[in-house]
Amino acid sequence: MTATKVGIREFRASLADYIASDTPVAVTRHGQTVGFFIPAKADLSAEVAALQSAAATLDALIEEQGLDVEELMEDFKAARREARR
């Protein structure tokens, strides 16, 4: 697998794309290679399963308490605004 050469500005601007890619990247500055980025693929299935479980638990708690999701969101947004002050 050969590395793709990109300038540092392009690399910074497209970092999310390079992270999602399987291709190593040679990062250049003024035409000189200054480093390499080698994306590491991780198995995220455990994290996804944990998030799905947490979402199901939250949904059950909201239903059990008879709460309105829209009201909860508005309360949350108001609390965040207040915390920033």
CB atoms within 10 A of CB 80: 9
Q: Which residue has the tokens 């540092």?
A: 8
Q: What is the distance between the alpha carbons of residues 62 and 76, in angstroms, rounded to a whole number?
A: 14
Tens digits of residue pLDDT in 17-71: 998 888 899 999 999 999 999 988 777 788 889 999 999 999 999 999 999 999 9
Q: Are 34 and 12 in contact (CB under 8 A)?
A: no
The arrangement of strands across the sheet holding 4-7 comes to 4-7, 25-29, 32-37
pTM of the predicted model, to two decimals? 0.48
